[in-house]
């Protein structure tokens, strides 16, 4: 069997643990400790993880960070486990939740088009709903509990622990870590939570050196920066780090946040101040067959390749000419993976930095502008792509279709702020295309609710370096309002504010700056009341 792991990389060293064995539908597979289930299966050549609910189309992974839900499988009898964020254990048993659809998909689709469509039947009356659901769940691939778990009785999650803190920081990426560092040096009790096992967020998968001022992050490779920040925080006795913890609800009346630790422990935390630094998730593009296994988000590819050292394919097509797309194309080349081309409708210019574009051009990767993808080719997985030229009004020009060979397609078409948790604070949300999507109105001190601060990409998509600066500032603002105000804090705030202003001084940031100005107000209390 082909091994898709990268063993020699010019920049990275992959820390693989002991060799273990997984069983996929009973078949043994080699894996290493520290790998996620998804990475291990990918390394073994598995590409289909689940099937879509209605038409049973094959599903690969898209995001690899626990957001897209298309890699869900049954793991040791527990259904709907997100395999991309679950680490392997020796002797783990994995099961696809709808294996029979591999064989009977055409038949099931016919059934779906007929009046017997099971999606709509048996919902009434209530008596037949429950037993019918058991069967329907099998068809839809939503899984069922193993006998053992069912017999143990229905368990409703309870609150295992309740405590209070001065400052709770949600998100351990560049913004959250930076906030924890600054606040932790000044406050007495700070908690940082992150849903991953390892803090660092998107920094962990960045192998390139950062721009910006050398005083902050410039000239360092992203994954090193993340490690350094985590190390510094671990030395602060005032900061408690809770990895593998999800913030799932916020109750404004009681000012409490409900969190779920390692999927089975409920924690209720009451904090005086909150910093929300939950980042952003990837956008997708609309085109025919865009759900085929082998179509990924750029971040998903980075996670698989740069954190776990597993190749996403042999030759890829990149969509989009933003910095993320250009950087990922370069990272693919570094790992010895081919890049067929970068395709984007951009008319005026490559949307990322020219230096990033030049890096891949000089290695022979063409950037095909004024083009877009029409459809992905392939039945069970990507085997190519059909692209077309566009006219000035972004309409495809007939007769210009061209087939490109590739076994994966990677989208770097922008990010959108993650607002799920933010909106529970009852802020005023506005849509801003420059900032990537829905963002809350905030004041000059990043407050978007009475007791909550925002920092990083969730407040508007920018660079990791701006996230570091914003996070540091949010940490300082929070510390100041908690009563830790002295001259040193004010001086540090001035320094950060100046650095942020300077960092946004390039023409690339002018739209973002204008958009941020529009949603920043003098007095947040007036807006949220």
| Chain residues that interact with other proteins, rule: CB under 8 A | 8-11, 13, 208-214, 218-221, 224, 333-334, 336, 346, 348-350, 353-365, 367, 369, 465, 502-509
Burial of 300-309, coded b for 16+ CB within 10 Å and e otherwise, reads bbbbbbbbbb
CB of 355 to other proteins, least distance (A): 3
Smallest distance from other proteins to CB 461, Å:
16
Query: Looking at beta carbons only, is 346 or 388 nearer to other proteins?
Result: 346
- Phi then psi for residue 396, to 5 deg, are -60, 140
Q: How far apart are the first and last CA of the chain?
A: 62
The full DSSP string for 53-94 is TTT--EE--S-SSSSS-TTEEEETTEEEEETTSSB--TTEEE
Instruction: Report DSSP letters for 441-483, one per residue.
Output: -EETT-EEETTEEE-GGGGS---HHHHHHHHHHHHHHHHHHTT
Q: How far apart are CA 255 and CA 491, in angstroms?
A: 31
Would you say 383 or 509 has its CB closer to other proteins? 509
By beta-carbon proximity to other proteins, the closer residue of 57 and 371 is 371
Token readout for 107 is 């038949």
Q: Minimal distance in Å, beta carbon 358 to other proteins?
A: 4
Element (H, E) at 140: helix 126-140
| Shortest reach from residue 463's CB to other proteins, in Å | 8
State the nearest-atom distance from the C-beta of 508 to other proteins, in Å. Answer: 7
If DSSP codes are grouped into helix, strand and coil, which group holds residue 235? coil
Q: Which positions ≥6 away from 386 have C-beta within 8 Å?
A: 373, 374, 375, 376, 377, 401, 402, 403, 404
Write out the H or E segment, with its range, that includes residue 150.
helix 147-151
Name the minimum Å distance from CB 368 to other proteins.
10
What single string gives the DSSP state of each residue in 274-332?
EEE---EEE-----BTTTSTTEEEHHHHHIIIIIS-B-S-SEEEEE--SHHHHHHHHHH
Nearer to other proteins, 118 or 211 (CB): 211
Calculate helix-pair angle for 174-184, 222-234, nearest 10 degrees.
Answer: 30
Q: How far is the CB of 352 from other proteins (least distance, A)?
A: 9
Distance of closest approach, residue 285 Cβ to other proteins, in angstroms: 20
Nearer to other proteins, 50 or 206 (CB): 206
105: which residues sit within 8 A by CB, 6+ positions away? 51, 55, 56, 57
Q: How far, CA to CA in Å, does 213 sit from each of 161, 224, 232, 504?
A: 43, 16, 20, 11
Nearer to other proteins, 128 or 355 (CB): 355
Of the pair 434, 443, the CB lying nearest other proteins is at 434
Nearest Cα to Cα of residue 255 among 267, 278, 272, 243: 272
What tokens appear for 246 in the block? 């999800």
Q: What are the tokens at 268?
A: 């209720």
Q: Is the CB of 115 or the CB of 399 nearer to other proteins?
A: 399
Pick 193 or 360: Cβ nearer other proteins: 360
Shortest distance in whole angstroms from residue 206 CB to other proteins: 11
Cβ proximity to other proteins, 282 vs 463, nearer residue:
463
Cβ proximity to other proteins, 4 vs 49, nearer residue? 4
Smallest distance from the beta carbon of 34 to other proteins, in angstroms? 20
Q: From the CB of 353, what's the least distance to other proteins, in Å?
A: 6
Tokens standing for residue 117: 């469509």
Q: Rounded distance, CA 450 to CA 272, Å? A: 10
Q: How far apart are CA 504 and CA 497, in angstroms?
A: 11
Start-end of H helices in 235-272: none
Closest to other proteins by CB, 216 vs 281, is 216
Residue placing its CB nearer to other proteins in the complex, 104 or 211: 211
CB of 224 to other proteins, least distance (A): 7
Compute the least distance from the CB of residue 216 to other proteins, in Å.
10
CA 439 vs CA 139, 234, 246, 252, 386: distances in Å: 38, 31, 21, 19, 35
């Amino acid at each position: 069997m082909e091994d898709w792991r990268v063993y020699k990389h010019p920049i990275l060293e992959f820390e693989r643990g002991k060799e273990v064995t997984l069983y996929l539908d009973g078949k043994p597979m080699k894996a290493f400790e520290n790998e996620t289930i998804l990475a291990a299966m990918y390394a073994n050549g598995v590409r289909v993880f689940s099937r879509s609910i209605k038409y049973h189309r094959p599903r690969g992974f898209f995001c690899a960070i626990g957001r897209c839900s298309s890699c869900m499988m049954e793991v040791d009898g527990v259904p709907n486990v997100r395999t991309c964020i679950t680490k392997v254990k020796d002797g783990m048993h994995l099961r696809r939740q709808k294996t029979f659809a591999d064989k009977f998909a055409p038949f099931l689709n016919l059934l779906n088009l007929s009046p017997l469509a099971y999606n709509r039947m048996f919902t009434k009356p209530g008596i037949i709903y429950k037993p019918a659901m058991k069967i329907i769940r099998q068809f839809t691939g939503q899984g069922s509990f193993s006998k053992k778990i069912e017999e143990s009785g229905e368990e409703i999650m309870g609150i295992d622990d309740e405590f209070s803190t001065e400052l709770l920081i949600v998100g351990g990426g560049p913004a959250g870590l930076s906030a924890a560092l600054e606040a932790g040096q000044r406050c007495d009790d700070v908690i940082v939570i992150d849903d991953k096992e390892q803090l660092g967020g998107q920094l962990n998968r960045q192998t390139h050196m950062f721009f910006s001022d050398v005083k902050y992050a410039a000239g360092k490779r992203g994954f090193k920066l993340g490690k350094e920040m985590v190390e510094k925080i671990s030395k602060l006795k005032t900061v408690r780090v809770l990895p593998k913890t999800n913030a799932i609800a916020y109750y404004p009346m009681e000012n409490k946040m409900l969190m779920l630790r390692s999927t089975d422990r409920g924690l209720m935390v009451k904090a005086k101040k909150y910093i929300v630094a939950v980042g952003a998730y990837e956008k997708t593009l609309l085109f025919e067959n865009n759900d085929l296994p082998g179509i990924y988000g750029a971040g998903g590819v980075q996670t698989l390749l740069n954190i776990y050292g597993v190749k996403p394919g042999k030759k890829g097509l990149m969509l989009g000419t933003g910095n993320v797309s250009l950087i990922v194309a370069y990272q693919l080349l570094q790992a010895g993976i081919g890049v067929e081309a970068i395709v984007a409708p951009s008319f005026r210019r490559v949307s990322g930095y020219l230096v990033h574009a030049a890096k891949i051009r000089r290695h022979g990767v063409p950037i095909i502008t004024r083009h877009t993808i029409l459809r992905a080719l392939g039945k069970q997985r990507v085997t190519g792509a059909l692209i077309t030229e566009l006219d000035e009004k972004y309409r495809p020009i007939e007769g210009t279709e061209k087939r490109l060979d590739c076994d994966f397609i990677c989208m770097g078409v922008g990010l959108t702020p993650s607002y799920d948790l933010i909106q529970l604070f009852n802020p005023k949300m506005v849509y801003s295309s420059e900032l990537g999507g829905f963002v809350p109105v905030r004041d000059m001190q990043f407050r978007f609710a009475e007791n909550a601060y925002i920092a990083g990409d969730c407040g508007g998509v920018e660079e990791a370096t701006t996230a570091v600066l914003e996070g540091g500032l949010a940490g300082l603002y929070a510390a100041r309002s908690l009563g830790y105000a002295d001259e040193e804090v004010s001086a540090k705030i001035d320094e950060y504010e100046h650095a942020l202003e300077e960092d946004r001084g390039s023409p690339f940031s002018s739209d973002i700056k204008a958009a941020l100005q529009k949603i920043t107000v003098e007095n947040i209390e007036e807006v949220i009341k």
